């Protein structure tokens, strides 16, 4: 038996457990060429080529697979299936048999279960590979045809992406919303009360006053009152439930909030934890945990914390995506005490950073099967000279899952003006409580908060843009390409990002249309289900670009349609003349755009009264790879 995986680390781990032959491809070993489009535009068939550093790998794979039962064990997702498919194409003629091996945890138990589930590769769902083809070819069409056009039109190096560009738009639009925000003042009226040495505040039931004079009039009306009459006393028990185990997106968001890790680093650390057999597969939409692990976890908790920290029945969570239920959420592969984490991580040759992420995953998974936290909540309503004031209090009665994991740090956005929670004394209806004074605080409305990388991936998930497995690469790409950067934990756009979004909004709005991007992802899901074809997906993407073709090297000529539209819009906006010569030369129109956008340079001439530039015949947008 020969097991072929993506990662050398995983290969070594599997070999040490099963004592079987293993090989690794070290990720993809063939892809579209870097120097050309690599796609037949009549059929959208890709021309995959071997990576320069892996040209000998196919021969090595065929040699090793000769007469063997080959287990194709790429990661259990579309990318992993694609790698397995490429290996299958190389070895199926020389191998005794080829089976698909989906490994969700690199442990002896997990590997044996995977081997028991292995099926002939020919009987697996080819829709996974077809969806990979659709995404890869579709993304190549967008990047290869639109990036050169944007670079030429904007006189710089710009990259357009089917998913990355909408992500940049999110950051740009949020920043502009913040810039345009005008704070509005409002006032909050509170009274300070004292019950036998316990001081607490009560807020006017109106909450916010937008007119200061109205609030001030109430202050004057109650100023002389020495007591507040308790009109309503409500005591109740409230419960807080634990959250489910991490999905990929939730892990990235929590790691960004708690550990200050960007998504790309989180996924790199999680990959190592998975390959060393410490956690289950980390690219998942599921929040399910195996019944066997839940039983192990409940037994462990009973022995360490006692039965009162367990719910009567295991907690069950529903995944957003019903197809995800075949997988599990991210969890540790076995139970142990928290004090063992450092030793466990060190034994596997990993770092303190891995330990911090593992601790987060471990706590979240354990807490998901613990009892609810219980609070005693109290609401008091007082009357002062006919004005109503409310005080809220909450006291933790039983910590439950909070003993292991509290998610309060993951609150990303302020939730507005809320009544403060405080310790409240015993008060009876009809009781007069001494009033010490009143306060009228002026506050201002706040703009929406900037994204963190964690909240950005959550927003991408909410809009159904991209897939959880791609979010880490998206955030890395838009950072590396200079479109956004992180400042004090927040994601802010850079000038090239704003320039690109403005250009795409004007010239190719479909690229940054959230709903269209979402529907494209939905189309790829239909391809996985064999209800649609990857070729139709690619044709749809290509149609959005007017079936454009790449410009061959050395081919010059007139301006692109995008340049013409952009230049005309700029001329109209700035009330400038667009010369006839510029309408016939891509180079000259680029120079005109540059001069129009940069006041320091000689400005284009303004048109004479009643004179406008002629409109040439419509041309098809073209572009070449820069």
* Residue 343, both tokens: 């030793």
The pTM score is: 0.83
Over the stretch 211-232, which tens digit does the pLDDT of each residue have?
999 999 999 999 999 999 999 9
**Rounded CA separation 72/75 (Å):** 9
Is the pLDDT reported for residue 614 higher than 50? no
**Rounded CA separation 13/107 (Å):** 9
Strands 30-31 and 49-50: antiparallel
Over the stretch 340-395, which tens digit does the pLDDT of each residue have?
999 999 999 999 999 999 999 999 999 999 999 999 999 999 999 999 999 999 99
125: helix, coil or strand? coil
Over the stretch 318-342, which tens digit does the pLDDT of each residue have?
877 655 456 899 999 999 999 999 9
| Dihedral Cα 390, 395, 398, 400, nearest 10 deg | 70
What pLDDT, on the 0 to 100 scale, is given for residue 556? 46
Q: Whose CA is closest to 592, among 615, 619, 563?
A: 563
Is the pLDDT reported for residue 417 higher than 70? no
Q: Which residue has the higher pLDDT, 23 or 581?
A: 23
What pLDDT, on the 0 to 100 scale, is given for residue 589? 79
- CA distances to 468, 604, 626 from 248, rounded to whole Å, are 6, 52, 34
What pLDDT, on the 0 to 100 scale, is given for residue 561? 61
What secondary structure does DSSP assign to 505-570, as a single string?
Answer: HHH-GGGG-HHHHHHHHHHHHHHHTTSS-HHHHHHHHHHHTTT--BPPTT---S--HHHHHHHHHH
Q: Phi and psi dihedrals of 268, rounded to 5?
A: -65, -45
> Average of pLDDT values for 465-483?
92
Q: Which residues are catalytic?
A: 281
* Residue 561, both tokens: 């349609």
Instruction: Return mean pLDDT, the chain.
Output: 89
Q: Which domains does the chain have, with CATH numbers?
A: 2-124 (3.40.50.140), 146-180+450-544 (1.10.460.10), 185-241+373-444 (2.70.20.10), 248-367 (1.10.290.10), 558-626 (no CATH)
């Amino acid at each position: 038996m020969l097991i072929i995986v993506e990662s050398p680390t995983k290969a070594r781990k599997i070999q040490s457990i099963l004592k079987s032959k293993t090989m690794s491809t070290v990720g993809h070993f063939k892809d579209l060429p870097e120097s050309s489009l690599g796609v037949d535009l009549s059929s959208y068939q890709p021309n995959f080529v071997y990576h320069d550093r892996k040209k000998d790998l196919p021969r090595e794979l065929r040699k090793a697979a000769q007469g063997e039962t080959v287990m194709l064990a790429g990661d259990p997702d579309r990318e992993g299936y694609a790698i397995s498919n490429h290996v299958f194409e190389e070895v199926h003629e020389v191998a005794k048999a080829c089976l698909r091996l989906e490994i969700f945890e690199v442990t002896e138990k997990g590997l044996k279960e995977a081997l028991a589930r292995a099926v002939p590769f020919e009987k697996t769902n080819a829709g996974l590979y077809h969806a990979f083809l659709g995404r890869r070819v579709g993304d190549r069409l967008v990047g290869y045809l639109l990036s050169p056009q944007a670079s030429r039109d904007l006189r710089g190096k710009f990259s357009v992406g089917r998913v990355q560009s909408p992500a940049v738009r999110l950051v740009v639009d949020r920043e502009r919303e913040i810039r345009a925000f005008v704070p509005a003042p409002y006032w909050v009226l509170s009274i300070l009360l004292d019950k036998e040495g316990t001081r607490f505040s009560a807020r006017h039931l109106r909450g916010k006053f937008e007119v200061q004079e109205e609030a001030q009039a109430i202050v004057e009306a109650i100023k002389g009152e020495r007591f507040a009459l308790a009109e309503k006393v409500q005591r109740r028990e409230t419960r807080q439930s634990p959250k489910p185990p991490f999905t990929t997106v939730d892990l990235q968001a929590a790691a960004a909030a708690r550990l200050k890790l960007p998504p790309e680093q989180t996924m790199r650390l999680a990959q190592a934890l998975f390959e060393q057999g410490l956690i289950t597969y980390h690219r998942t939409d599921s929040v399910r945990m195996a019944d066997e692990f839940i039983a192990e976890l409940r037994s462990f908790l009973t022995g360490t914390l006692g039965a009162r920290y367990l719910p009567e029945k295991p907690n069950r969570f529903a995944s957003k995506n019903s197809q995800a239920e075949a997988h599990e959420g991210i969890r540790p592969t076995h139970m142990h005490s928290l004090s063992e984490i450092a030793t466990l991580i060190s034994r596997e040759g990993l770092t303190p950073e891995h330990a911090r992420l593992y601790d987060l995953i471990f706590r979240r998974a354990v807490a998901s099967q613990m009892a609810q936290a219980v609070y005693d909540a109290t609401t008091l309503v007082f009357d002062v000279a006919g004005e109503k004031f409310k005080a809220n209090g909450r006291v933790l009665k039983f910590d439950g899952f909070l003993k292991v994991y509290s998610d309060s740090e993951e609150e990303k956005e302020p939730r507005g003006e809320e009544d403060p929670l405080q310790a409240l004394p015993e008060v009876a209806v009809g009781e007069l409580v001494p009033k010490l004074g009143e306060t009228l605080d002026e506050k201002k409305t706040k703009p929406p908060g900037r994204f963190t990388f964690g909240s950005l991936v959550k927003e991408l998930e909410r809009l159904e843009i991209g897939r959880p497995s791609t979010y880490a690469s998206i955030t890395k790409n838009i950072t590396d390409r200079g479109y956004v950067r992180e400042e004090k934990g927040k994601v802010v756009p850079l000038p090239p990002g704003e320039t690109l979004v403005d250009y795409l909004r004007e010239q190719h709005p479909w690229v940054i249309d959230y709903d269209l991007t979402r529907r494209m992802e939905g189309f790829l899901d239909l391809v996985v289900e064999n209800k649609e074809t990857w070729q139709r997906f690619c044709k749809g993407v290509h149609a959005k670009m007017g079936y454009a073709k790449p410009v061959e090297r050395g081919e010059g000529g007139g301006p692109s349609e995008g340049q013409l539209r952009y230049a005309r819009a700029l001329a109209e906006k700035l009330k400038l003349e667009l010369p006839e010569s510029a309408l016939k030369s891509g180079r000259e129109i680029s120079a005109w755009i540059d001069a129009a956008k940069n006041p320091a340079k000689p400005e284009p001439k303004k048109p004479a009264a009643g004179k406008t530039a002629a409109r040439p015949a419509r041309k098809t947008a073209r572009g070449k790879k820069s």
